[in-house]
Structure 1
Amino acid sequence: MKNIILIGYMGSGKSTIGKVLARELNINFIDFDDFLQMKEKRSIKEIFDLKGEIYFRNLEQKYLQEVLKSAPQSVISMGGGTPCYGDNMSLITNSNTTSIYIKVTVEELAVRLFKARAERPLLIHQDTPEKMDEFVRKHLFERSFYYNQAELKVLVDGRTPLEVAQEIKARLF
């Protein structure tokens, strides 16, 4: 079995769905953001604050290569920006993986992310629901080129993580 890589915008539910999918398939789950933070012994916010986004994106590429080489049959949830920098999407699509775009509408993402903006370095300044919607709309437009390269696309809105995981399982096997 190939590794399954979940990509999509921040707040789309990749980690939650990934855990459920891994349990359904009886394989390992790796949250790529947690993996990176464990390796660096710092939070993503600390890395952004201390070294900036470019440094962080270089770390992502380094650890993406590592996790793709070493992960044994796993569901791996990527950070929202991971596929969109350097040649990361090529690394994902050209390794022994199946990539899946966990797709959520802009409206749903804006609502989810507005509630959680304090924990996300890129969103800290989006201080009204309208600003969040505008930011997500623009950012998602820029990133959709990469996300749409995934082999499968699964729309999440209005569905439980278990329902999404079961759809993915059915489409894979």
Structure 2
Amino acid sequence: MINSHIVLLGYMGCGKTTISSKLETILNLPSIDLDQFIENELKMSISQIFNTKGQIEFRKIENRYLKILLNKKTKSIISLGGGTPCYHNNMDFILECSKNVFFIKTSAEVLSFRLFKEKSKRPIIKSISSISELKDFISKHLFERMIFYSQAHHIIDDNDKGADSVCKKIVSKLI
């Protein structure tokens, strides 16, 4: 029996949404993507929110909806945005609400290849023009965010092993 929400965190492109969806089937728990939840609630894409309200306001909105999801009684699988744990004491709140927090650790090299194809959909990287520039950007971000990501209860090394492999590792560690 799973006694708390399962929270997936990691850099954008690490596969949180895909993994969450697969875990939903395996564990028969609802899966909620925080970014999609925000988009549905506000009837705007994350890019539109960034463009019209700015990053600071987006992080406030994100914090509010994170708290709503983590305070729900029904246990679920929650996949976070890459920056979610890094703002507004979110990581402390996440760790307080869940005993099943997983960091999907993926290298900057793997992430840069995954993300370069879809950078137009990602507000913080859409202006980057080359894979090497993107890899440098991601490496810097990962370094800055690692202090938050590494607080997760479990670190699952992905590096292109695939969502099924990551799901098996997560299921084996659930409390």
| Contact 1:21-1:166 within 8 A present in 2 as well | no
> What SS class does the counterpart of residue 150 from structure 1 fall into?
coil
Q: Which residue in 2 is equivalent to 1:167?
A: 169
Aligned pair count?
Answer: 173
In structure 1, the partner of 2:64 is: 62
Match 1:126 to one of 128, 140, 143? 128
SS in 2 for 1:122: coil
Give a deviation string over 1:39-96, Cα, whole Å, max 9, x none.
1110000000001000000001011111111261111100000001011001100014
Among 89, 92, 97, the residue aligned to 2:91? 89
- How far does the alpha carbon of each residue in 1:127-151 deviate from its partner, in whole angstroms, 9 at most, with x for none? 1111101100101111111000000
SS at match of 2:124: helix
Return structure 1 stretches of 4+ with deviation > 4 angstroms.
none
Q: Over aligned residues, Cα RMSD in angstroms?
A: 1.1
Structure 2's unaligned 5+ residue stretches are none
Q: What is the Cα deviation at residue 162 of structure 1?
A: 1.4
Q: Give the AA of the match of 1:127.
A: S
| Percent identity of paired positions between Structure 1 and Structure 2 | 39
Q: CA–CA distance in 1 between the matches of 2:152 and 2:77? A: 15
Secondary structure at 1:42's aligned position in 2? coil
Query: Letter of the aligned partner of 1:48 in structure 2?
Result: F
Residue aligned with 1:92, SS? helix
**2:17 paired residue number:** 15
Q: Which residue of 2 aligns with 1:45?
A: 47
Q: Secondary structure at the match of 1:94?
A: helix
Residue 71 to residue 38, structure 1, CA distance change in 2 (3 Å) = farther
* CA deviation after TM superposition for structure 1 residue 158, in Å: 2.8
Letter in structure 1 aligned against 2:79: S
The corresponding residue for 1:110 is 112
Would the aligned equivalents of 1:4 and 1:76 in 2 still touch at CA under 8 Å? yes
Structure 1 residues without counterparts, runs of 5 or longer: none
Contact persistence 2:85–2:148 (CA under 8 A):
yes
**In the alignment, which of 155, 158, 163 is matched to residue 156 of structure 1?**
158
The answer on whether the counterparts of 1:84 and 1:146 sit within 8 Å (CA) in structure 2 is yes
Compute the TM-score of the two structures, normalised by the length of structure 2.
0.95
CA distance in structure 2 between the aligned counterparts of 1:151 and 1:73, rounded to whole angstroms: 17
2:166 counterpart SS class: helix
SS of structure 2 residue aligned to 1:76: strand
